[in-house]
Chains A and B, each alone.
Chain A
Amino acid sequence: MTTTSPDITGITRRKVQVQNNFERRAFLFMRVSGIALLFLAVGHMMIQHVLNSSTNLSIIFVAEQWNSWGWKVYDMLLLGFAYLHGMNGFRNVLEDYIHNRSAIKIINIFLAVFAVITIIWAGYAIAAFNPEAAIQAVGG
């Protein structure tokens, strides 16, 4: 621990060693992803439901939007942050109520594998989406 003399505000600032455990990193991730989702999710809702009418949402609309890599990246970020944010919240709820350490370890591994597979799968679907083929398929 390093201590400094009181600064101009009269407060003594001290540096301390803190353990960088998983819970600390998960807490920081929830804060960062929460702020990111504030823009990504609200932006998504504004685009889909306010600037465009939700009744007009069709595969053509999606295909036109995903014609741009910018929107693809936007939706992949939304997918990644929202899914991991939700999964970590779910993990927290389960850890509150399941007290058997072995059981919670198995559940956490399952959740992590499930989350990674789902994000890769959905991310691949967005990245590999072919807008022209989709428009042709629906006769647009």
Chain B
Amino acid sequence: MQVNLRIRRFNPEKDSKAYWGEFNLNDVDPTDTVLDVLNRVKWEIDGTLSLRRSCAHGVCGSDALRINGSNALACKTLVKRLGSGDSVKIQVEPILGLPVIKDLIVDMEPFMAHYREVLPYFINDSEPPENGRERLQSQEDRMRFDDTTKCILCACCTSSCPSFWANGQYVGPAAIVQAHRFIFDSRDEGAEERLAVVGDAFGVWRCRTNFNCTSACPRDIEVTEAIAQVKKVLTTGEI
């Protein structure tokens, strides 16, 4: 099949503003991914095209892009999903809400700064069990945060959130998902510190529940549901 590819290009050393680069590719396999197509452009047509990618199997989360207007991982998006017939149009842009460094690469630091704010690590200062084994919890307790353990920090959710676009001070869905993962862990003792961060004026209250984050998540995490659960803890004081 033929692919007409539009890529948002920007080279800070040459360009005063971003522009669309167009590439036509023939003999694209329908089961090729958008990452395969971008690699073909970079390796065969224009070596200056800049993009992040690593594992190419939807695990590392480094190739989050805005593809045909929706956030997704380029390595998990098949060309055949973007159109039918012999010719498909694909438009690829960097994810929104974060400063563009070059072409499809954005500065992830503002995103990571919010991630660090919610203390995304296990906090428990009490003595470990005397038998030297792990801190046990019931299967039901483990299931409460199972969904939010799947986050790969690709930023698809946060960069699809209109509240984050409007104000980058909002911690964003990904940071709240990370906070949820530890707040709902019965073995963790840092819930109050995290709730102080996500209960702030730039925390969960900025969420307008428009579900962009849930639609964008390549790991199918129920992001809006997780945010709602954190809001409930903040309103009831009970986990």
Would you give the shortest CB distance from B134 to chain A, in whole angstroms? 16
A27: Cβ under 8 A from any B Cβ: yes
Given A11-B141, A12-B186, A14-B239 in contact, is the A19-B166 Cβ separation under 8 Å? no
Partner of A97, one of B139, B166, B199, B234: B166
A17: Cβ under 8 A from any B Cβ: yes
Q: A residues within 8 A CB of B137? A: 12
Binds A, one of B44-52, B63-71, B188-196, B210-218: B188-196
Give the complex CA separation of A28 and B141 in angstroms.
27
Give the complex CA separation of A11 and B208 in angstroms.
29
User: Is B140 a contact of A6 with CB atoms below 8 Å?
Assistant: yes
User: Is B201 a contact of A21 with CB atoms below 8 Å?
Assistant: yes
User: Is B199 a contact of A21 with CB atoms below 8 Å?
Assistant: yes
B-side interface size class: 20 to 34
Chain A: how many interface residues by the 8 Å CB criterion?
A: 26
Give the complex CA separation of A28 and B235 in angstroms.
8
Q: B residues within 8 A CB of A14? A: 186, 191, 238-239
Known: A12-B138, A16-B192. 9 other contacts (CB 8 A): A10-B140, A12-B137, A14-B186, A15-B237, A16-B237, A18-B192, A26-B205, A27-B235, A97-B166
Name B's A-contacting residues (CB within 8 A).
Answer: 137-141, 144, 163, 166-167, 169, 186, 189, 191-192, 195-196, 199-201, 203, 205-206, 208, 231, 233-235, 237-239
User: Is A96 a contact of B163 with CB atoms below 8 Å?
Assistant: yes
Give the complex CA separation of A92 and B167 in angstroms.
12
User: Is B199 a contact of A24 with CB atoms below 8 Å?
Assistant: yes
User: Is A18 a contact of B199 with CB atoms below 8 Å?
Assistant: yes
Would you give the shortest CB distance from A81 to chain B, in whole angstroms? 19
User: Is A16 a contact of B238 with CB atoms below 8 Å?
Assistant: yes
User: Is A6 a contact of B141 with CB atoms below 8 Å?
Assistant: yes
Give the complex CA separation of A16 and B196 in angstroms.
11
Would you give the shortest CB distance from A94 to chain B, in whole angstroms? 10
